[in-house]
Amino acid sequence: MFAREDNNVYYWYYATQVLHHFGDEPWRQWNDVMREELPAMQVKEGREAGSWAPQRDRWASVSGGRLMMTCFSIYCLEVYYRHMPLYQAGQKEERVSGR
Q: In sequence order, what DSSP letters do the residues of 51-79 get, joined into one string?
A: SB--TTSTTIIIIIHHHHHHHHHHHHHTH
Give the pLDDT of the chain (99 residues) as one tens digit per residue.
Answer: 788 888 999 999 999 999 998 889 999 999 999 999 999 999 999 999 999 999 999 999 999 999 999 999 999 999 988 876 666 555 544 434 344
pTM, two decimal places? 0.81
